[in-house]
A and B are shown apart, each in its own frame.
Chain A
Amino acid sequence: MLTIESILAMAPDAASAKAARGLVAPAQWPLLGANAQAVWGACQGSGAKPYQTQVDLNGPAFRCSCPSRKFPCKHGLALLLMRAQHGPLFTAQEAPAWVSEWLASRSDKAQKKEETRAEKAATPVDPQATAKREALRWQRITAASAELQRWLADQLARGLGSLNPEVLKTWHTMAARLVDAQAPGLGQRVKEAALGIHAGEDWPERSLHRLGLLQLACEALARREHLGADVQADLRTLVGWPHDKAEVQDSGEKCTDQWTVLGLITDDRDDKLTERRVWLQGAASGRRAWLLDHAFAGKGFEQAWTPGAVVQGTMAYFAGAAGLRALALDTQVLNQAPQWPTAALGDEWQQLARRSARSPWVGLHPLVLCHAVVLHTGQSTRAVAAQQSLALDLGDADTWRLLAATGGQPVNLMGEWDGQQLRVLTAWTAPNTAPVWQRSAA
């Protein structure tokens, strides 16, 4: 059963969560029903006809007849909240046509998708043409990266101290050229490096760090063909050339396990793009997996994940030396207590060191901090565990909720380590118990 916090965490924004709460009133719902597969309800909105709201529990996936462009919309969230708060009101058990048809079409769609994929796999592609296209793209990228390397050396020859807004404009030009050369990932890194100049007291050190990694990228790209397949795959990710998901699904390394959702976060990227990162850990394999999804224009994510939930399924890992990013296949939520990791901090750092050494361009690492005390001192919030202190990256409201939840007692934290700070996502106190805290939706 979903908890109220986890339902609200699926909201695309705070306004939707608030609106959904406002709809948790039995009077608003002339019809409420549920079976093992789905919950559905009719919500009296502002129109004459009530909205038909339904949630496929295997997911969960949402659908509503309201015109809202938010996804999931407030009605879908409110329906789940109603289910959590007023379970006995869901009296209908026979799914009406509008529910059963949708469920059927969903499994149809999944099947069709599978068929198209099989078909596509069966269609002989011209391997020669593909190879030629790819070779051409690599050629362009390699040329651009050689240019980038010369350009980087020019900047260092002139000195970072002399950079002024006028010169920094040329950095953005460089970034644009990399995008033109089909290496948007490198372009993004140059842009970030430009934004980091003069930002913060230690900007020279941080800038050298960024430029150093760019230099490493250029040198690796220059000798790409002599590198291992994993590193080559990492370079493809690095330049911003997405891996084909169908290919990952077919030929990626597979791992079937019971996965505990360690944490998740949604970030607004540009005005219209929302990024969601979900971190999982397999119970038997002990492997971690990272799911990365994007949604445009407030349209939400097909599948919702809840921290602390246990999901049976297969991870298909993307190629690459880090071995983190994966696609989740054939998932099914189990009604089970979470199986939290219990690694010692030293082992966590060791894992991170190995991963980072193999794949130095990975910017985010999952980190579990067991038996940590959350401290608030003046302006900063820190977690102290095993005689080490880590700065936490947390919003104000989240900080105070986390402090309230811990009461200064040691807790277990999971978060994303970005090299500087731990962006905490989840906190739990005991094995096999629901989280006591989770990061709120942005």
Chain B
Amino acid sequence: MNAPASVWAPLLPAAMVGTDRHAAALPSWPGAVGRLLEQATQAAPDAPDAATAVLRASAVLAACAQAGAQGAQWTGPLPTPCADDTLPEPQHAALNALMAWAWQDGPPRLQHELCVVMARAGHRLPTALLPVALDQGRRAIALRPWLLPVLGTRGLWLAALRDEWHYAAGVVAEDSDEARWTDGTAEQRQAFLARERVQDPAAARERLVQALPELGAKERAELLGTLAVQLSEADAPWLDTLRADRSREVRQVALGLLLRLPGAAHPTRAAQRLAALVRQERALLLKRWVVQAPEAPGEDWKADNLDAARPQQESLGERAWWLYQMVRQVPLGWWAHHTGMTPAELLRWAASTDWTEALLRGWRDVLFAAPHATAHATPHTDWCRALLNDWPAKGLRDESSAVLALLPAAEREQHWLRQLTNGKAPLAPLLGQVLSAWPLHECLSEEFSQAVVHALQHRLRQSAAGVLRDDYLLRSLLPDLCCALHPRAMAALATLPRSDDETPSVATTLHTATQAIATRRALHAHFPT
């Protein structure tokens, strides 16, 4: 270390101003260094000029400072080191090297799988990979719930040191549950509340009632969402008060939850309001259902979260806008009950009315209001199926894959399998749909995976190099697909056909795909299910 600034200080005036204008004699320094300095700067016979004296003094100080180097004195306490980890690290060199690649450059789906498998096997991530894994978690919020359990004590300790990683640093793994609620991150609090909700729904609700007023809008909305677990009529009165919350997000969550409680006051009023508009008409011998949009806003609308003013960018007309809002406040079950029509019939009927878009969009909103359907709530599979079988030509802006994602896994796969085997749907767009709908932390069933591999091999057999070069979509999906396939079905893709003249982009994609499969094979070999 350079000598402390104070050692140099006496030299600075002369050095900065210049010895031409600063004529004062050099000061003296204490001790042995001082004596040496004196000798160097003043000793006869060659007593130097003033500038050289400053330089000689600097020479002595620099050399002595270098030789006398020490660290700065440290008297402060040292922070407590990280506690021992209860989870072991994987010790397989080959697997760890592949994991290093996967965390740095691998597809997100592979990173999810690494977390899931490590957690299942009771391991944590290797120490050297903690920083890069924490960085991935910083960028990908969806990864966090899977990443947190495999960070181990060391990972949580590390995360606490860096602002960017605070999402993971709420509390230490061993801390009591209560600490997770009081000091935890948003994710940890949510997980805590959901668990309590399973054990004691009323207590969890009471905890939330107490906590809610102090929280920001975003956190209020997120925590409120956990009420979907074990939702019951007992929650209705409090939810009803939240319809008047100052945050729009919170109001929406409350309304979404109320939709699952058809007996509650608000959905009941909404259904009555709509019943007046959806009526049966007799025309000659036929009975048919007609729908009318409201003519004018009612006085009680505002209290019931109906907005009379149409937003500027809204594509619906004013009356359609009113109708749409009413539709989205009524549970889907009401329609079958009220009209006796099935979802498929209702969709066809809606297309024949003047209010198609208002109806479809209203239904869509109800369908998506609580997508994570619990055992308690009806998942509306009949509505999803009806929509998927006959996707409305107009009125909906969603991709059908979004609706498909609401169906249980097995049913989704059946839907795709039909499309795959009837050969009507082109392979790449279908796979794109599958991958965008499939949760990142799960792999496809073995049966469906085999079918996909089979179809892919068939497609590649025609001209592997050409297909991979020209079918941009298929190629870009390949790495993700290799991570989604069932472990027992992916072996067939372990060696993808390579060619001499592949472009850098093809080469990179194929590398990623092969590498992903190699990683997964090593992973499942070391941690069999």
Contacts and interface: CB of A to CB of B under 8 A. Distances in A.
Answer yes or no: are A and B bound together in one complex.
Answer: yes
Interface of A: 3-5, 18, 21-28, 44, 46-48, 81, 84-86, 149, 152-162, 202, 204-206, 208-213, 215-216, 219, 345, 349, 352-354, 356-357, 360, 373, 375-376, 384-385, 387-390, 397, 400-401, 403-405, 407-409, 417, 419-420, 437
Interface stretch (B62-70, B267-275, B356-364): B62-70
Given A27-B514, A404-B130, A420-B2, A212 B62 contact: yes
Contact of A409 (B81, B93, B97): B81
A294 to B, nearest CB: 25
B56 interface: yes
23 contacts: A4-B100, A21-B101, A27-B495, A46-B500, A46-B501, A48-B500, A155-B51, A157-B19, A159-B18, A208-B61, A210-B62, A211-B55, A212-B61, A215-B59, A349-B69, A354-B67, A357-B67, A360-B63, A360-B67, A373-B81, A385-B71, A387-B73, A404-B131
A354 B290 CA distance: 100
A304 B12 CA distance: 47
Given A404-B131, A407-B82, A4 B93 contact: yes
B493 to A, nearest CB: 11
Contacts of B312: none
Given A46-B501, A388-B70, A408 B62 contact: no
Given A18-B104, A84-B93, A153-B51, 4 more contacts: A23-B511, A154-B51, A161-B16, A407-B81
A414 to B, nearest CB: 15
Interface of B: 1-2, 5, 8, 11-12, 14-22, 49-52, 54-63, 65-75, 78-82, 93-94, 96-98, 100-101, 104-105, 127-128, 130-131, 154-155, 157-158, 161-162, 494-496, 498, 500-502, 507-508, 511-512, 514-515, 518
Contacts, number: 221
Contacts of B68: 353
A294 B93 CA distance: 32
Contacts of A205: 2, 5, 8, 12
B46 to A, nearest CB: 10
Contacts of A357: 63, 67
A156 B495 CA distance: 71
A400 B164 CA distance: 12
A373 B51 CA distance: 45
Contacts of A5: 128
A159 B16 contact: yes
Nearest to B79: A408
A385 B71 CA distance: 9
Contacts of B67: 352-354, 356-357, 360
A405 B500 contact: no
For the complex of A and B, list the 5 residue pairs with the smallest distance between their C-beta atoms, beginning with the closest: A159-B18, A212-B58, A388-B71, A408-B81, A407-B82
Contact of A204 (B16, B49, B66, B131): B16
Contacts of B512: 22
B69 A407 contact: no
Contact of B97 (A4, A28, A159, A162): A4
Given A160-B15, A376-B161, A387 B58 contact: no
